[in-house]
Structure 1
Amino acid sequence: MSEELVDIAVGRIGHMCAFDYDMCLMYVLGGYNGYNKEMQTKYLSSQELWIYDTLIEKWSMRRCTGEMSTTDIPAGTSGASCIISSHYLYMFGGYTEEGNSNQLFRLNLKNFQWKQLEPLGKRPLACDKSVCWIYDNKMYLFGGYGCVPIETRDERNFDFVYDPKSHWHYPRGWNNQLVYYDLTFNQWVWFKTEGKVPIPRAAHAVAKVGHKVYIFGGRHEELRMNDIYSLDMKQMSWTEVYSFNDNNETSVPIGRSWHSFTPLSDKQIILYGGFSQDNKPLSDCWALDIESMTWSTIDLPFNKPRIWHSSIASSFGEIIIFGGATHNILDLQNLRNIKDLYSGDIIVLRFVPKSLLRLCLDASVMNYHLLHKQWKYLPRNVKHMLELKKNTIQTNSAGS
């Protein structure tokens, strides 16, 4: 359970990411960043928890253990889902070396110990590339790509579309299952909703704003979509907000999968990147006005395509994007150096000026030679932040 200060996290795609607003910390787990000689995916260990402090802009890494034994530690995974509640991180599903999983794990963020949970109730389908959110102390899961259900269509309350091109160890497909894990009673609960349910999909994205959840895009069979559905969590009712799929329309984002869709405020959601219908990595950025349900483009001073990355809204009015693929992950043969595929960079989309505290930290470190003698008079926590910030800036300057 030791902490290691690092300059940059290991580049990866298909990882999990969650944000602790109380601590201003972004947690990153799992994913993969390469292949072995047999072209099998190189999954990153769940024993490594990467932590990005958004206040001082510094990475660290924690070694995690199992609460009772190593069986409590999840296998290396891509496409899993996670949420944070209190001081716990909950992780469901994903794809491992053994195939799709429907296991649920909990990581204690105080002692960094994993525990495999055994909830009551019927488990969700084993799948990856689903989305999740937390509401009323419940972890909700929607959609994904994975195992064929055992039940017949008449016996289940969701749809499943078989993928005839699935080339893994067993048949798979897309689903639109909606189920929640009750954190209080440790059980899975299946329930019914009203309204028009989104069609099965995977690699879609979700944004929760207040008591409403918004689903954007994702892949259904050969189609990468740009539709929007909302779920009213009080009424448990779906609404089809937007069903446009003409990729020639310029006033809305084109269809995509493996994108991020992050709530910036109670009025805006930010869309970034993804994988287009014609298999191109995207670098466009859009803002969705929730009240009018209209899109507007955001012009960025850079062009950084990202696929299957992660994104969080920090406590400082900014969107932080980490990792992801920079090229077409389905066409590795035309990639000169496969190491270039996996990004370890952070992209910051800043919508308000930096806070006074962060500006003061930056200025104090940049003028270290003038001010460092006065640092000893500062409160211990402020001095600690300055020392960490100083190490970050010095390291980055040395490598530039």
Structure 2
Amino acid sequence: MKWTAHIEGGPRRVNHAAVCIGEKILSFGGYCSTEEYKDWDPIPVHVLNTQTLRWSAVNYKKTDVVPFQRYGHTTVAYGEKVFMWGGRNNALACDILTVFDTRTLEWSTPTVSGMIPFAKDGHSACIINNKMYIFGGFEYLTDQYSQEVHCLNLDTFKWQLVEAKGTPPSHRDFHTAVAHGDRMYVFGGRGDLNSPYNSQEEIYCSHIYYLDTTTDTWVSLNNRNQKNWPCGRRSHSAWIHDDHMYIFGGYNGNTKMHFNDLFRYSIKNNYWELVHVNGQVPCKRRRQACLILKDKMYLFGGTSPQPAKNVPLRPVSEDDSLELLLDNNDLHILDYSPTLKTLCILKVLEYNLDQSVLPRHIIMDIRSMSQPNRISRSINQAG
């Protein structure tokens, strides 16, 4: 396992949502503090070609069903389509299901039935069989955190409130949920001491829960290796690889700490371990996107507390600490099984070796792994 590529110049996005379809990664929405944010603009969509590591904007068809710009939403992939739900702009939160067809580049709003969840952001979503499961988030109608589970049948478009047994995770937002078999594993997030209400007395849970969707039962897992247990956090990322759940980054508002640590949880054996990986580790951050595709994890965007020198900064939002942050436009790749070619390219770059004698296709691979994208520029050059 090794951190390989680190490429600047991609979409500068925070609190965006992304999915993998085929060999491509699609990123939806989010915000950037150095750009003018217009609540009712059509949502931006970018696509990463994972073969060339080049980003491009998606020029989809503009119709009256195109969703508005938002952040804190979720997206899941089902077949060739992307299902987006929730999120908010600066004016309101959304409870409308929108679908993006990656073949026709068209948006649609299917007619849904059943018990639709309240509009929220900071919830989680994952696919188990033919259903999208939604957990938690912050509901703006009730002005409180949620611990409810809803599922949407993606074939019939019927919503259902899951009346789960057992003890659920506490009310929270900006946690993670990942699917493994018939289970949805939940970790982290922000709650409140006076749960479910938002009294600004934040609490951060470090326990793992899973929902068994075959019995609709919550199970709380007691970790057997507390020494390497990650501390509670929100706005981190999680993914599944080889029967392990990985956790990267995030933020704890009580300690005012950002993270760039990598933890691995064994689903089969119920233990955590801190993973040390060689290569250029991404800087501390939160609200990034992380997606696994085959044996590579792609990380991009988010916001970080350690800015480059002489870079203008933005104040954080009202629910954060008083520090200043920098929005990221970089892409990092965590390669679980780097090939000999990849390792050799890394040495060529590390020692600045002569490339003129190399085959053209190797030179092209080197450029893909090292040259910046052109979606965004450095902040100090953006005007």
| TM value normalised by structure 1 | 0.76
CA distance in 2, matches of 1:123, 1:48: 25
Higher alpha-carbon deviation: 388-397 or 189-198:
388-397
Which residue, out of 237, 240, 243, partners 1:260? 237
Secondary structure, counterpart of 2:32 in structure 1: strand
CA distance in 1, matches of 2:172, 2:105: 33
Q: Which residue of 2 aligns with 1:225?
A: 205
Could you tell me which runs of 5 or more consecutive residues in structure 2 were left unpaired when the two chains were aligned.
Answer: 1-6, 193-201, 306-314, 348-353, 378-383
C-alpha contact (below 8 Å) 1:108/1:114 kept by paired residues: yes
Which residue, out of 35, 48, 62, partners 2:58? 62
Secondary structure, counterpart of 1:95 in structure 2: coil
Matched, 1:275 2:251: yes
CA distance in 1, matches of 2:45, 2:364: 19
* Counterpart residue identity of residue 227, structure 1: H
Could you tell me which runs of 5 or more consecutive residues in structure 1 were left unpaired when the two chains were aligned.
Answer: 1-5, 150-171, 376-385
Report the CA distance shift for 1:388/1:15 in structure 2 as closer, same or farther (over 3 A). Answer: farther
Deviation at 1:287, TM superposition (A): 0.8
Q: Which residue of 1 aligns with 2:381?
A: none
Matches within 5 A, 1:1-400: 8-20=9-21, 23-34=22-33, 46-66=42-62, 69-70=63-64, 72-149=65-142, 172-221=143-192, 222-242=202-222, 250-265=227-242, 267-276=243-252, 277-301=254-278, 302=281, 304-315=283-294, 317-327=295-305, 329-330=316-317, 334-335=323-324, 341-354=326-339, 371-372=359-360, 389=365, 392=368, 395-396=371-372
CA distance in 1, matches of 2:209, 2:329: 32
Higher alpha-carbon deviation: 319-328 or 224-233:
319-328
Deviations 1:148-207 (CA, angstroms, capped at 9, x unpaired): 44xxxxxxxxxxxxxxxxxxxxxx210112111111112212232222222211000012
Deviation at 1:110, TM superposition (A): 0.7
C-alpha contact (below 8 Å) 1:269/1:287 kept by paired residues: yes
CA distance in 2, matches of 1:397, 1:239: 44
* Counterpart residue identity of residue 143, structure 1: G
C-alpha contact (below 8 Å) 1:30/1:46 kept by paired residues: no
C-alpha contact (below 8 Å) 1:25/1:53 kept by paired residues: yes
Deviations 1:347-371 (CA, angstroms, capped at 9, x unpaired): 2222222387x789999xx967664
Secondary structure, counterpart of 1:65 in structure 2: coil
Report the CA distance shift for 1:178/1:333 in structure 2 as closer, same or farther (over 3 A). Answer: closer
* Counterpart residue identity of residue 238, structure 2: F
CA-based RMSD of the aligned residues comes to: 3.3
* Counterpart residue identity of residue 238, structure 1: W
Deviation at 1:232, TM superposition (A): 1.3
CA distance in 2, matches of 1:180, 1:237: 14
Report the CA distance shift for 1:280/1:51 in structure 2 as closer, same or farther (over 3 A). Answer: same
Report the CA distance shift for 1:205/1:44 in structure 2 as closer, same or farther (over 3 A). Answer: farther
CA distance in 1, matches of 2:8, 2:332: 15
* Counterpart residue identity of residue 338, structure 2: P
CA distance in 2, matches of 1:134, 1:10: 26
* Counterpart residue identity of residue 30, structure 1: G
Deviation at 1:45, TM superposition (A): 5.5
Deviation at 1:217, TM superposition (A): 0.9
* Counterpart residue identity of residue 246, structure 2: I
More helix as a share of residues = 1
Report the CA distance shift for 1:124/1:397 in structure 2 as closer, same or farther (over 3 A). Answer: closer
CA distance in 2, matches of 1:93, 1:271: 23
Secondary structure, counterpart of 1:286 in structure 2: strand
CA distance in 2, matches of 1:129, 1:59: 26
Deviations 1:264-298 (CA, angstroms, capped at 9, x unpaired): 22x21111110113122111111111122111111
Secondary structure, counterpart of 1:214 in structure 2: strand
* Counterpart residue identity of residue 132, structure 1: A
Secondary structure, counterpart of 2:368 in structure 1: helix
Deviation at 1:346, TM superposition (A): 1.5
Percent identical pairs in the alignment equals: 20
Report the CA distance shift for 1:205/1:55 in structure 2 as closer, same or farther (over 3 A). Answer: same
C-alpha contact (below 8 Å) 1:57/1:389 kept by paired residues: no
Report the CA distance shift for 1:254/1:362 in structure 2 as closer, same or farther (over 3 A). Answer: closer
Bigger RCO of structures 1 and 2 (CA < 8 A, at least 6 apart): 2
Higher alpha-carbon deviation: 232-241 or 301-310:
301-310
